[in-house]
Amino acid sequence: MKIGILGSGLMGANIGSVFAQLGHAILHMHLPSSVMIA
């Protein structure tokens, strides 16, 4: 399964690591707080 984690932070990174160890493809995305998306 392909899993994307947006704004992952520490908790998302840890959850993503668990999914990766289970064999899933993980994509972490992080934008600095100074970047605004409208």
* 28, β-bridge pairs: 5
Confidence of residue 37 (pLDDT cuts 50, 70, 90): low
Closest to 24 measured CA to CA, from 5, 6, 7, 1? 1
- Per-residue pLDDT of 1-32, as tens digits, reads 888 877 767 888 888 889 899 999 988 777 66
Q: According to the model, what pLDDT value does residue 22 have? A: 94
Q: According to the model, what pLDDT value does residue 16 have? A: 84
